[in-house]
Structure 1
Amino acid sequence: MAAHLTSSAPHIHDALTYDDLADWGDQPNCIEGQSKSSGRLLFKRPDPSVGGNSPETGLWVCTPGKWPLSIPRDEFCHFIAGRATYQRDNGEVIEVAPGTCVHFPAGWTGICTVHETMRNVYMLR
């Protein structure tokens, strides 16, 4: 399990089991359980011209719980472990499991329920 975060193309081998994760803390506003997040940032472009919303990509792990979710900018997720349900405010339900890819457009709002600790590779822009 190796990470090459200073490479010209930062990468992690075996992202499914990679465990050198930073503690990203408790998920705020939980309405059930207490989800805890951890992960590893692969890349974030330092660009003060976009108000701190620089593109970034990384690995995110989250334990079970339920919370309201508001996506501030476009986010692509490839789920590689666990199970979760995303229910949009309009009632649409998106079930995620290993192998699911989802693009959440900026402004997407709803509820996230993590049933089994999930792991995903994400990209924000």
Structure 2
Amino acid sequence: MEIARLLHTFGGPLLALFGGIGARSMGTLVTGMGSGVRTVDFAGSPRPCKPYRPDPGRIVSGDPAQTVSVAYQSDDGLFSAGTWTCQPGKWHIEFAQNEFVHILEGVVVVTDGDGLAKTYRAGDAFVSPAGFSGTWDVREPVRKYFTLGGPPG
């Protein structure tokens, strides 16, 4: 019952944050109706990681080698979730979609276009709204869960 109360209390703001994505899925999760839709377990079998680096013109310092493992992508391509890793380095970033981040390991300093810097460590969570631009400075190797939502800009 506690889970249902929490979903009822926080479900509306979360759905508003992600533009209503998953409203039908959330209802299925709460009611347990047999729709054939299953949850996606991040701890399940490992998914292939795609290694990459930011465009060299965006890198400020270090060698921010990165991997991404997409655990889920919606049929319409407007929502995805997965795990991301990055080695120390700093680069300019521009977010085309809303991104929710939960830092699992490491330290990153995110600085916005006005110069306001925030440090995030393991256990921290935040959202970078579509249109955010600034820098990511990975100080210690980072592993995070992410969700991306909304139409690409």
Q: With the length of structure 2 as denominator, give the TM-score of the two structures.
A: 0.66
Gap change, CA 1:87 and 1:37, over 3 Å in 2 = same
After TM superposition, which residue ranges in structure 1, 4 or more long, deviate above 2 angstroms?
Answer: 18-21
Alpha-carbon distance in structure 2 between the residues aligned to 1:40 and 1:57: 9
Matched, 1:38 2:62: no
Structure 1, unmatched stretches of 5+, are 1-6, 48-52
Paired position in structure 2 for 1:78:
102
Matched, 1:112 2:136: yes
Aligned partner of 1:8 among 24, 27, 38? 38
Identity across matched positions, percent = 21
Q: RMSD between aligned alpha carbons?
A: 2.0
Q: With the length of structure 1 as denominator, give the TM-score of the two structures.
A: 0.80
> Match of 1:8, as an amino acid?
R
Aligned partner of 1:67 among 82, 86, 91? 91
* Higher Rg: 2
Alpha-carbon distance in structure 2 between the residues aligned to 1:56 and 1:19: 16
Q: Which has the higher helix share?
A: 2
* Number of residue pairs aligned between Structure 1 and Structure 2: 111
> Which range moves more in the overlay, 57-66 or 19-28?
19-28
Matched, 1:23 2:53: no
Structure 2, unmatched stretches of 5+, are 1-36
- The higher relative CO (CA closer than 8 Å, separation ≥ 6) is in 1
